[in-house]
Amino acid sequence: MADISLDGDANVSAGASLAPPAPPAPPAPPRSPSFSVRSNSPGSRSGGAPHPSSKLTLTSQFWVEIQGVREALFKECSGLQIATATEQIKEGGLNGYVHQLPTRSTQSNVTLKRGMVVSDDIYTWYSEVLRNTIKRKTVTIYVYSNSGLAEGKPLVTWTLLDALPVKYVAPSFKSDESAVAVDSVEFVYGELKRS
């Protein structure tokens, strides 16, 4: 049998078939890029760990104290608000600017709502106001962390100095529903402090 030389490098026997070259391997799929996200907010630390102060506070974690006596039955507190009025001073020759000078600040009345109770010291306090017996007291609203009272120390405290009840709203009653009876008391006060 004769040998056929191809390019002088390889000897192929006559009659042997030449196999076609193998197709190239398909390219590997592209790799998905990896990302690391880090917050630039003040409540974040380097490395992505949240700062303890970044925990959100729940509105349900609060406690009310009236003249040193804790009232645990309040379900809602609203009206913690201070607004400062301003006086406009228009300076002659300065047409594009108006001076805003702060004047008197006023506080909104604070409303506390709770389930109706039979023995109600707050309503007794308000009934004294109706008889022109003025007894001002200190009302304190404590706000705790999400874990409630377990940590002991409140996150924020609002104090109503020289508070006085000025409005009482009795619950509404309906024979076709079984909702909890809720009454509300509205307070005025001399000064609001936050600590």
Q: What's the pLDDT tens digit per position in 80-89? A: 999 999 999 9
pTM above 0.75, yes or no: no
Domains in the chain, start-ordered, CATH in brackets? 64-81+99-194 (2.30.110.20)
- The answer to whether the beta carbons of residues 110 and 187 sit under 8 Å apart is yes
Quote the Cα angle for 51-57-62, to 5°.
140
Where does residue 48 fall: left (phi above 0), alpha (psi -120 to 50 degrees), or beta otherwise? left
CA distance 74 to 165: 15
pLDDT at 133 over 90: yes
Residues whose CB is less than 8 angstroms from the CB of residue 68 and which lie 6 or more positions away in sequence, other chains included:
138
Neighbours of 17 (CB within 10 A): 6
Encoded tokens for 129: 């106001």
- Amino acid letter at 22? A
What confidence tens digit (pLDDT) does each residue in 142-162 have?
988 765 444 567 888 999 999
pLDDT tens track for 38-75? 444 444 444 555 555 456 666 667 888 888 887 757 88
Sole residue written with tokens 């940590």 = 151
Residue in 185, 186, 195 with CA at minimum distance from that of residue 108: 186
